[in-house]
Amino acid sequence: MKEESKLIRTQAARSQNREHSVPLYLTSSFIFDDAEQGRAIFADEIQGNIYSRYSNPNTTEFIEKVCALEGAEAGLAFSSGMAAVFASFAGLLKSGDHVVAFRSIFGSTHQLLTTLFPRWGITSTYVDAANPEGLEAAIQENTKMIFLETPSNPGLELVDLEWLCKIKEKYPNIIINVDNCFATPYLQKPIAYGVDIVSHSATKYMDGQGRVLGGIVAGKADLIKEMMFFIRHTGPAMSAFNAWLLSKSLETLPVRMDRHCSNALKVAEALEASAEVEVVRYPHLPSHPQYDLAKRQMKQGGGIVTFVIKGGFERAKRFLDALEMVLISSNLGDSRTIATHPASTTHSKLSEEERKQIGIFPGSIRISVGLENIDDIVEDISKALEVSR
Ligand SMILES: *Cc1c(COP(=O)(O)O)cnc(C)c1O
């Protein structure tokens, strides 16, 4: 089956009720047919559900779909994207280990690496996507993991995954961990290049309708097994309800992403044609500095467009306030178009210099382009550009 079909046809085994759509398994625990079955499941001799902190038919179905799409051997579902990202570090690293991370990463991931992990003896070094050659210089004897996001948020810089994975020839024991939330595995498949694990906030495009939190890590079976020990005993499990909802959402991920991408490209083109805009970043816009790489690595350009409005912070504020249909929120990956001012919200904890390093300026605006009719989106943005002058 092709991947669109797998996302629709992968389903938990039908019950004796012959249901069409998969039921919601709201049960904390599972029973054993007899004492021997209980023993064998606990001993890992046969597969079976024990307790929903470990597995549940709804979470298993969700994981199977994501693994099919990512080309992963195994996966684990989490209560949020941050629970997934945290477990991808904490489940695989120990005190004394070192992480090399590309600088533009999600704010809470930055806090994990710079504030929380040092408390437990796990250190990290940042490298710049603009200077990827710096990667090897940052690797230490105790480096166990390389972590990155591509494209980055909100600068939409890319890291060449084919180039990155070549580093494994020299350092076969370093785990490469990619947060693939922005692109989604429909548009970009890091594991095909040799990446070991991908981590995700399912809250974004996987849900796509701004309803629930969720996260997933997928990749090599031995690493997932090691992480399984961590989640069994620490409890960041995804709820059955969220898994049921997210699994349903994955049925429409390809058609939604196709529309997010075609709408986003049109928004990027309209912004580039405007005299009110200094610069537009969108991976599949020919003016993107890494356009060729974006074409190779991403099936389409994704749903996020970032631009710098002329007139800096005050103009950016007037622009946001002049939007009528488009909402102001820090979220992304929703059916509704969302506008964000990163410098004063999602990235306000960074210094102006740190923001500049990752391509955030006082006039930067990130648009998460939704699924409304493209004419309505472009009209609202164009009007706000005029009104805010
Ligand atoms: C939102 C996000 C996260 C965190 O996910 P939550 O579901 O909000 O916990 C991590 N990484 C990226 C790239 C994100 O956009």
Q: What contacts 187, CB < 8 A, 6 or more positions away? A: 257, 261, 298, 299, 300, 302
> Between the CA of residue 184 and those of 228, 263, 383, what are the distances in Å?
23, 16, 31
Q: What is the pLDDT of residue 130?
A: 79
CA 332 to centroid of ligand 1, rounded, Å: 9
C-beta of 110 in contact with ligand 1 (< 6 A): no
Q: What is the pLDDT of residues 300-340, one digit of tens each?
A: 999 999 999 999 999 999 999 999 999 999 999 999 999 99
Quote the tokens at residue 381.
């943005």
Q: How far is CA 289 from CA 141, 261, 263, 279, in A?
A: 33, 19, 21, 12
Q: Has residue 132 got a pLDDT over 90? A: no
Ligand 1 centroid to 82 CA: how many Å? 6
Burial 299-337 (b: 16+ CB within 10 A, else e): bbbbbbbbbbbebeeebbbebbebbeebeeeeebbbebb
Domains present along the chain, CATH in parentheses: 3-250 (3.40.640.10), 253-387 (3.90.1150.10)
Q: Is the pLDDT at 129 greater than 90, yes or no?
A: no
Tell me the C-alpha distance between 284 and 261, whole Å: 9
Residue whose token pair is 């605006």: 365
What tens digit of pLDDT does each residue of 34-83 get?
999 999 999 999 999 999 999 999 999 999 999 999 999 999 999 999 99
Each residue of 8-37: pLDDT tens digit? 999 999 999 999 999 999 999 999 999 999
Which among 381, 374, 234, 379 is positioned nearest to 322, based on CA atoms? 381
pTM of the model: 0.96
User: Are residues 188 and 180 in contact, defined by beta-carbon separation less than 8 angstroms?
Assistant: yes
What is the best residue among 78, 178, 181, 205 to mutate for testing ligand 1's pocket, by most ligand atoms within 8 Å of CB? 181
pLDDT for 133 beyond 90: no
CA of residue 282 to ligand 1 center, whole Å: 20
In short, whether 148's Cβ falls inside 6 Å of ligand 1 is no
Listing DSSP states for 369-387 in one string gives --SS-HHHHHHHHHHHHHH
**Residue 203 · residue 81 · CB < 8 Å:** yes
pLDDT in tens, 150-192: 999 999 999 999 999 999 999 999 999 999 999 999 999 999 9
